[in-house]
Structure 1
């Protein structure tokens, strides 16, 4: 029995409710043992144990109770919501990730507790469990100022900024960890900008900027949660980013064609080179003109180093569909083509951080489509890049519905693990460059050994190959084919020139004529700084002037009907299966041999694509 007087509740019982109450005397009263754990003279550790067992028994017996009178000798209860019992019972299942679905909660309740609940009660129990683990969305905004202080404290050197509007409500929250800031120094100065919509109660937008390392891994630079996507939010985002990434001519920024991004990037990063996301561009063209036969030539054109190669693929696009060619031409070759781009886009040709987060429910389908439409060969890297992005960002799907503090806790925890994993994978390597660069050097060396070299002067060479003649200047690290210029690693033409200049010792000089970006040391230094998670709220030691400060959440956007959780199909959506009909003549997708554009009058195609 319990004799806990700390939780005594003095409450008058209405007369009309006396018949519906069930007093449970705590001493001397008889209660049948009905497999619920209650029997005569049962002793409880404290009143909390009694309440927990009583609530659990109420769920099993389909009886819902609520305490209405609490004294030393009597504990009176009446009906309550079973979700209040089921939520704490299953909250441990939400510690890692999204947790069980409403259907799974109903099965758990039936199997483990032995009762059936409705879908509504199951959903409500899941919300209670999430609130126990992660807190409520409103509370996360309330403590955001103190959370901001603790984030900067445990990750000294990080850049954060919290802005409120005229009504003292939340507006923007910018975060860039010290590890990201120091690691970006060892990355190529190419950034991809995108956004994704959060699924929380207040429907915020998550803006992001990423770079890319030598293994095509995504490297975060900053995040920013804003109330909505507009000119003001992007201006704030890029102004804070300017403190981390300076505005120089070496910088290249890739983004999808949102007018606010284009406007603010041109305003704040006026010296940098600007380009558009080629995957967004390709999907827009495919959806607008209902044609996907051009995709292979389009992606080859985007990756072409020389303009003559680009022109050959673009003419094929014009032959397939002249409207698509005009559309791409109006966008501007310098916005999406490597051959015409004034800066160096590197291998980052797509800005799909936000897109990835929205299409991950169909990740397998997207990856399959990319691998099917165009093979991920050395001459075509977008499939490799996009597949890697999809794999890296799959964990953001469930986190999109987290409260804002829980969201950044998940981000820091996940990237802390990734930094450690990628750092330890290369820390013991004995090679000078990372394995992918070493393999490329070996391949280029073998190709360069087969080329004919003519030395013009001390630093000028002509290289004869199957498609023409190239001019190589090792002193300036340039080649007329432009591959060595842009990749910052000697191509086969440059390898042949280095072999002619340095003889048998040219193997050691290759690293001198390559970018330090490929060094194992640079890769490890990029991930050497750990990311520390913010401790639990009860362990915060913020100053007294910050702890009581409360930030009201943004105004809630109330909409009719049930909240939509699945993405509306649109740009970058899953390609319908009907578009993947394989033509037996040209082996392309999207049409049959009877409608093949390459079929000539009088030709009859066979299953092997050979005319009879």
Structure 2
């Protein structure tokens, strides 16, 4: 996965409310990849600290990791506590990712946001188990080294690179000119002064032109050597190789005795919200009763006419 994780909270609509926290990354095909889900009472320091501490058990805290979110103060605060080596911020890239994430989560949980917690997670489990299987199977016999989106970028960059002029200035260092721009490419450090090669970890048009100059007819094969293994089909399939198994039945759970003996009260519900929920339920019941009554009257009238 790309080492960029977007964090967001979605309000639930059940009787007890709550917030579904989600951490989402993207795979090499720009598909949304679920990292973690958690339900909490509200978005606050304690909630995000707990969420990130659980994530820390399988997400490494490294300088390469970047966590992005909206401007909720608790997220940035707790990222600095639990993931001190990671970068944190909010930016335009976040907005692009969050639009996709929100659309996906809302589509998956359009009605289920009203469900109890166990039912909600059963839906999440089922939906992503199907997605994982589909993505795992679709690339098994694809026949290319990189995923399709990256193969398309390689082809495009190669064509653009063929129109550029190159001359060498040192070992593995070249000046590339064209389109009224000048770039310096260093093959040893896999970098370009335009920074696209550095960030995307795949040769940009300038780097493609340099590879052609450096390796001649063999440069097509060399392209993959100068690209990140993250884009390979094998790496993509490995990301989805783990199966998402259903939660076993409750009678098979091994729960510690101290948990079993703990008395847990139901979540607090503000009287105003509880009354509103009751009123809504009462209103819905009345509407259904009125519809049934009207249907019965209509049926009697029709029968009388016959």
Quickly name the TM-score band, shorter chain normalised. Answer: 0.7 to 0.9
Equivalent residue, structure 2, for 1:264: 78
- Say yes or no: does 1:193 pair with 2:7: yes
With over 3 angstroms needed to count, the CA separation of the structure-2 counterparts of 1:275 and 1:562, relative to structure 1, is same
The whole-number CA distance in structure 2 between the counterparts of 1:390 and 1:236 is 25
The whole-number CA distance in structure 1 between the counterparts of 2:87 and 2:156 is 31
- Say yes or no: does 1:221 pair with 2:23: no
The whole-number CA distance in structure 1 between the counterparts of 2:198 and 2:33 is 23
Q: Determine if contact 1:190/1:348 at 8 Å carries over to the other structure.
A: no
Count of matched residue pairs: 276
SS in 1 for 2:241: coil
- Say yes or no: does 1:492 pair with 2:306: no
Equivalent residue, structure 2, for 1:204: 18
For residues 231-290 of structure 1, the C-alpha deviation after alignment (integer angstroms, 9 at most, x for no partner) is 111111112222221221111111100011121112222221111043xxxxxxxxxxxx
1:366-445, aligned counterparts within 5 Å?
386-387=99-100, 390-391=103-104, 393-445=106-158
With over 3 angstroms needed to count, the CA separation of the structure-2 counterparts of 1:269 and 1:253, relative to structure 1, is same
Q: Determine if contact 1:216/1:388 at 8 Å carries over to the other structure.
A: no
Higher normalized helix content (fraction of residues): 2
1:475-490, aligned counterparts within 5 Å?
475-490=188-203
Structure 1 residue 542, shift from structure 2 partner: 2.7
With over 3 angstroms needed to count, the CA separation of the structure-2 counterparts of 1:406 and 1:458, relative to structure 1, is same
Equivalent residue, structure 1, for 2:253: 542
With over 3 angstroms needed to count, the CA separation of the structure-2 counterparts of 1:471 and 1:464, relative to structure 1, is same
The whole-number CA distance in structure 2 between the counterparts of 1:275 and 1:556 is 34
The whole-number CA distance in structure 2 between the counterparts of 1:271 and 1:432 is 33
Q: Which moved more, 1:435-444 or 1:467-476?
A: 467-476
The whole-number CA distance in structure 2 between the counterparts of 1:349 and 1:267 is 24
Q: Determine if contact 1:488/1:514 at 8 Å carries over to the other structure.
A: yes
Structure 2: stretches of 5+ with no match in the other structure: 281-306
Structure 1: stretches of 5+ with no match in the other structure: 1-186, 279-346, 353-385, 566-612
With over 3 angstroms needed to count, the CA separation of the structure-2 counterparts of 1:543 and 1:451, relative to structure 1, is closer
Structure 1 residue 415, shift from structure 2 partner: 0.6
The whole-number CA distance in structure 2 between the counterparts of 1:232 and 1:428 is 46
Q: Determine if contact 1:218/1:389 at 8 Å carries over to the other structure.
A: no
Structure 1 residue 349, shift from structure 2 partner: 5.3
1:89-488, aligned counterparts within 5 Å?
187-278=1-92, 350=96, 352=98, 386-387=99-100, 390-391=103-104, 393-488=106-201
Q: Determine if contact 1:188/1:213 at 8 Å carries over to the other structure.
A: yes
The whole-number CA distance in structure 2 between the counterparts of 1:551 and 1:533 is 25
| TM-score, reference length from structure 2 | 0.84
Equivalent residue, structure 2, for 1:556: 269
Q: Determine if contact 2:29/2:149 at 8 Å carries over to the other structure.
A: yes
Q: Determine if contact 2:24/2:101 at 8 Å carries over to the other structure.
A: no
With over 3 angstroms needed to count, the CA separation of the structure-2 counterparts of 1:391 and 1:407, relative to structure 1, is closer
- Say yes or no: does 1:525 pair with 2:238: yes
SS in 2 for 1:394: helix
Structure 1 residue 350, shift from structure 2 partner: 4.0
SS in 2 for 1:533: coil
Structure 1 residue 548, shift from structure 2 partner: 5.5
With over 3 angstroms needed to count, the CA separation of the structure-2 counterparts of 1:544 and 1:209, relative to structure 1, is closer
From the CA coordinates, give the structure whose radius of gyration is larger: 1
For residues 420-455 of structure 1, the C-alpha deviation after alignment (integer angstroms, 9 at most, x for no partner) is 011111111110000100000000000000000011
| TM-score, reference length from structure 1 | 0.43
Structure 1 residue 558, shift from structure 2 partner: 2.5
